[in-house]
Homo-oligomer: A and B are copies of this chain.
Amino acid sequence: MAAKNKPIAFDALFLGPKSENAKHFQEIMQDVVSEHIYWRRDFHPEDKPIISYNEKNQQGFKDSEQKMQEVIGEVTSKLKVTSMPWHSPRYLGHMNAEVLMPSMLAYIAAMLYNPNNVAYEASTATSPMELEAGMDFARLMGYDQDKAWGHICTDGSIANLEAIWYARNLKSIPFAVKEVQPSLVEGMSDWQLSNMSVPDILDLADKVKDVWDEIRDHSCRGKGVNLKQLGKWIVPQTKHYSWVKAVDVMGIGLDNVIEIQVDKNYRMDIQVLKETIQQLADQQIPVMGVVGVIGSTEEGAIDSMDQIIELRREFEKQNVSFYVHADAAYGGYARSIFLDENYDFIPYEALKERLHSEGIINKDTIDWPSKNVYNAFHAMSETNSITIDPHKMGYVPYSAGGIVVSDKRMLDAISFFAAYVFEKGAECPSLLGSYILEGSKAGATAAAVWAAHRVLPLNIEGYGALIGASVEGAQLFYKHILATRELDIHGTTVLIEPLVKPDFNMVDFAFNIKGNTDLEAMNELNLAIYNKSSYVNGPVLLNDFITSHTTFSYDDYKDAPAEMASRLGIPKEQWDAIHSVRVMRACVLTPYFTKDDVAEYYWINYIESMKRKLAEILAK
């Protein structure tokens, strides 16, 4: 890897698959703990210890100490028996890899002080870190730094919930204005009020700040959901299930969700999206918002955000507008790859050249990103809000999700207090919990995210290089599959086919016995392989390769999966009869799959492991 001259030696930032950096980790950890220990003692040195040596020598005290030690022993023992070996390139399953040492260390450091970011008073150190991390998100997404605002939350589900909360409440504000100050929207029909663009709604809101409490009382916040005014919430079929939860929670009802089918690349089909919105407009049914997914959960597909934005631009010509949210819980951090040192979006050709010259992605074998993927990432700056999870591609430990909004005036639509965008002159809100969905929350999480961003900048020199290595690993894995295609298992030929060329760092693929045309039999084979490659087969620490799996059904994907099935020898009639195909799903988050010898070693290991497992399965 040294030869590649990578901008940052991210190898120094992980504990390492073999705990290669253990010494350094332990050293810093002991240091931060000692710092805290002496900090306690240094607070009013005149105060005497409260727990005396005498007390510590008593049997009850020793018994309690011992009890604690036993319980911690039980915790570590449980963890060791069954935990997933996310640190190893032998794990290619869910969106997991080992996490950044600076994040773990910052978490531990902060946990000792235990700040609560719900209120500035309880987190004078970590509240500013959270808002700085939020502004890091804003810069990463190309949002206007003077207007945007972001924060950390538990996870993408909560971020998505908050996004739809924004969209729903904003949509109700023009109607509230009509009730409170009708002159401001004079002559506008309900249809027009339902189709104001987000900036127009915010400008309108600016005009009624002197009666803002009254406006909020007349908005969705005060009156509850008015489904006719709000309209439909549109998501791709590849949406995460948290969107279904969110729509339920928000009181919108699943009847008001429209799922758009995906194209052959498993991206939202923009033509279908366009027709859907047009049909709704023809019936004067409003669209509350459209979600594009940047890195779908099951395929890592990147929806064409540029085309969604372009579609909105087109529809606005006929006075139809809607909120646009990017669910980039998974793919968000990857926008770092596209940003130079000054956080400017790098032109396409220059990017490909630079990825190559800096050894981030090896041009000779890997063609990434496609123009489609590039354009989608570029257009994220034109969305209204974005979900981004530090605990996925941020390599930060759980739980760390995040959301960033393009215009902080939006806060006034959801805040508990009439915010007018924070208290005047305050750098930090005194009560963050009143502007977000959650309340009390670990300041340690903010410290973990903040530290990660400070060590690894959110551009091509930092996270870009790290995630680039992950993408390269995935694309190499994909190429290995393409180059393999057939495995000989003691005379039986087993086919292996990828689902599609991955947009990102997730590779889906499936096996079939050559000549088998029975889709159910093929699905059983893949389930058997998954079972042998997961906790189902017993403690994974004894396993030699661990992966995840998923199922594509007609209900969710229409006929898109038939194409892969066909490459594996499954006739269309079989697909039509079964309408469900099971695939392996390998998220290649490890950045180590790119070193030539390492990638080779683990690929050979992988394919040998698969052969052994197949042999066992076929022997039955």
Q: A33's contact among B20, B29, B434, by CB below 8 Å, is which?
A: B29
Complex Cα distance, B124 from A129, in Å, reads 32
Q: A225's contact among B37, B113, B155, B225, by CB below 8 Å, is which?
A: B225
Q: A251's contact among B62, B126, B250, B433, by CB below 8 Å, is which?
A: B250
Binds B, one of A65-73, A136-144, A194-202, A490-498: A65-73
Contact assessment for B445 and A399 in the assembled complex, using a CB-CB cutoff below 8 Å: yes
* Nearest opposing residue in chain B for A593, CB measure: B50
* Nearest opposing residue in chain B for A549, CB measure: B121
Query: Is A266 an interface residue when CB atoms closer than 8 A count as contact?
Result: no
Contact of A37 with B13 at beta-carbon distance under 8 Å, contacts A224-B227, A254-B222 already known: no
Contact assessment for B19 and A37 in the assembled complex, using a CB-CB cutoff below 8 Å: yes
Contacts of A146 in B (CB 8 A): none
Contact assessment for B68 and A40 in the assembled complex, using a CB-CB cutoff below 8 Å: no
Within 8 A of B (CB), among A443-472: 443-445, 447, 450-451, 454-455
Q: A451's contact among B75, B121, B254, B398, by CB below 8 Å, is which?
A: B75
Query: Is A511 an interface residue when CB atoms closer than 8 A count as contact?
Result: no
Contact of A41 with B55 at beta-carbon distance under 8 Å, contacts A79-B125, A416-B245 already known: no
Q: A50's contact among B20, B68, B71, B155, by CB below 8 Å, is which?
A: B20
Q: A398's contact among B221, B222, B440, by CB below 8 Å, is which?
A: B440
A53 shortest CB reach to chain B, Å: 9
Q: Please tell me how many copies of the chain the complex holds.
A: 2
Contacts of A222 in B (CB 8 A): 253-255
Contact assessment for A75 and B40 in the assembled complex, using a CB-CB cutoff below 8 Å: no
A519 shortest CB reach to chain B, Å: 23
Contact of A443 with B245 at beta-carbon distance under 8 Å, contacts A37-B15, A72-B109, A78-B125 already known: no
Contact of A253 with B241 at beta-carbon distance under 8 Å, contacts A43-B541, A80-B35, A154-B438 already known: no
Contact of A79 with B544 at beta-carbon distance under 8 Å, contacts A2-B58, A18-B47, A416-B241 already known: no
Complex Cα distance, B430 from A498, in Å, reads 26
Query: Is A249 an interface residue when CB atoms closer than 8 A count as contact?
Result: yes
Within 8 A of B (CB), among A113-128: 113-116, 118-119, 121-122, 124-126
Binds B, one of A81-89, A183-191, A273-281: A81-89
Query: Is A489 an interface residue when CB atoms closer than 8 A count as contact?
Result: no
Within 8 A of B (CB), among A20-37: 20-22, 24-26, 28-30, 32-37
Contacts of A1 in B (CB 8 A): 55
Contacts of A156 in B (CB 8 A): 439-440
Contact of A51 with B399 at beta-carbon distance under 8 Å, contacts A40-B18, A535-B121 already known: no
Complex Cα distance, B588 from A241, in Å, reads 43
Contacts of A84 in B (CB 8 A): 113, 115, 121-122, 124
Contacts of A116 in B (CB 8 A): 94, 96, 391, 398
Complex Cα distance, B33 from A26, in Å, reads 8
* Nearest opposing residue in chain B for A546, CB measure: B121
Complex Cα distance, B125 from A535, in Å, reads 11
Query: Is A48 an interface residue when CB atoms closer than 8 A count as contact?
Result: yes
* Nearest opposing residue in chain B for A39, CB measure: B80
Contacts of A74 in B (CB 8 A): 454
Contacts of A535 in B (CB 8 A): 121, 124
Chain A 145-172: CB-based contact to B (< 8 A → 1; otherwise 0): 0000000001111100100010011000
Contact assessment for A255 and B223 in the assembled complex, using a CB-CB cutoff below 8 Å: yes
Contacts of A13 in B (CB 8 A): 64, 68
Contact assessment for B28 and A69 in the assembled complex, using a CB-CB cutoff below 8 Å: yes
Query: Is A111 an interface residue when CB atoms closer than 8 A count as contact?
Result: yes
Q: Which of A18, A74, A248, A433 has the most CB of B within 10 A?
A: A248
Query: Is A525 an interface residue when CB atoms closer than 8 A count as contact?
Result: no
Complex Cα distance, B462 from A67, in Å, reads 12
Q: A65's contact among B12, B39, B51, B115, by CB below 8 Å, is which?
A: B12
Given contacts A83-B115, A86-B114, A398-B440, 17 further A-B contacts (CB under 8 A): A9-B58, A17-B49, A20-B50, A24-B65, A29-B29, A71-B454, A72-B106, A83-B124, A86-B113, A94-B121, A94-B122, A124-B535, A155-B441, A168-B251, A224-B227, A225-B253, A397-B444
Could you show 8 A-B contacts with beta carbons less than 8 Å apart? A2-B55, A35-B80, A42-B541, A43-B90, A50-B592, A121-B535, A220-B251, A401-B440
Q: Which 6 interchain pairs have the tightest Cβ spacing?
A: A251-B251, A224-B253, A157-B439, A225-B251, A82-B124, A12-B64
